[in-house]
C-alpha cells in the first residue's frame, strides 16, 4: 500500500519515507526494533537488497542504528529527526507544486484552492466551485 510504482521516487527512497513516516507517527518508537529486512521485503513485495539500501540510508540519517545480530533499532532522537525529515519532505513537495504553478502563472488564490482540494482528498484539480467557502480565483490572464 505505501509503495507506488507510478511515483517517480526510486523504491528504496519510498521505503525510507515510509519508515520515516512510521517513526514520526510514533508507530516505531525510539529503542524499538524495525521489522527485519526480510520481513519488510516480503511485506512490501520488493527485493531484500532494496530494503537494505533503505535501512542503510536511514542509518546515515541517524534515524536508526543497526546492532549486528540483533536487528535495526530506532535511535533515541529518531522521533525528532523523523518528524523534521517528514516535514521537510512535505515542504519539498509543496514548494515543487508552487514552483510549477507559479511558472504557469496560476494565481496564488488558485494554488490555495488546489491545496484545499488536495487536502479534501479530491482526485484531480478540475473543479467547479469552492470546496469550503466561496472564493474568486478563476480570472484568466
Distance of CA 110 to the CA centre of its chain: 24
Distance of CA 9 to the CA centre of its chain: 10
65, interface contact from its own copies, DNA, none, CB < 5-8 Å by kind: none
| DSSP string across 53-90 | HHHHHHHHTTSEEEETTTEEEE-TTHHHHHHHHHHHHH
Distance CA 54, CA 62 (A): 13
60 in contact with DNA (CB under 7 A): no
Smallest distance from the beta carbon of 27 to DNA, in angstroms?
A: 17
Among 1, 6, 68, 126, binds DNA (CB under 7 A): 68
Site string for DNA, 9-48 (x = CB under 7 A): -xxxx--------------------x-xxxx-----xxxx
Task: Pick between residue 36 and residue 115 the one whose CB is nearest to its own copies.
Answer: 115
Amino acid at each position: 500500500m505505501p509503495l507506488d510504482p507510478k511515483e517517480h521516487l526510486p523504491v528504496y527512497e519510498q521505503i525510507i519515507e515510509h519508515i520515516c513516516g512510521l517513526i514520526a507517527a510514533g508507530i516505531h518508537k525510539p529503542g524499538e526494533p524495525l521489522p527485519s529486512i526480510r520481513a519488510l521485503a516480503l511485506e512490501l513485495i520488493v527485493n531484500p537488497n532494496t530494503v537494505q539500501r533503505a535501512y542503510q540510508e536511514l542509518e546515515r540519517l541517524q534515524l536508526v542504528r543497526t546492532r549486528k545480530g540483533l536487528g535495526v533499532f530506532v535511535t533515541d532522537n529518531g522521533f525528532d529527526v523523523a518528524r523534521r525529515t517528514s516535514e521537510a519532505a512535505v515542504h519539498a513537495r509543496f514548494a515543487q507544486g508552487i514552483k510549477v504553478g507559479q511558472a504557469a502563472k496560476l494565481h496564488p488564490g488558485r494554488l490555495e484552492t488546489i491545496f484545499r482540494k488536495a487536502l479534501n482528498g479530491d482526485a484531480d484539480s478540475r473543479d467547479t466551485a469552492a470546496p469550503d467557502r466561496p472564493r474568486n480565483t478563476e480570472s484568466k490572464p
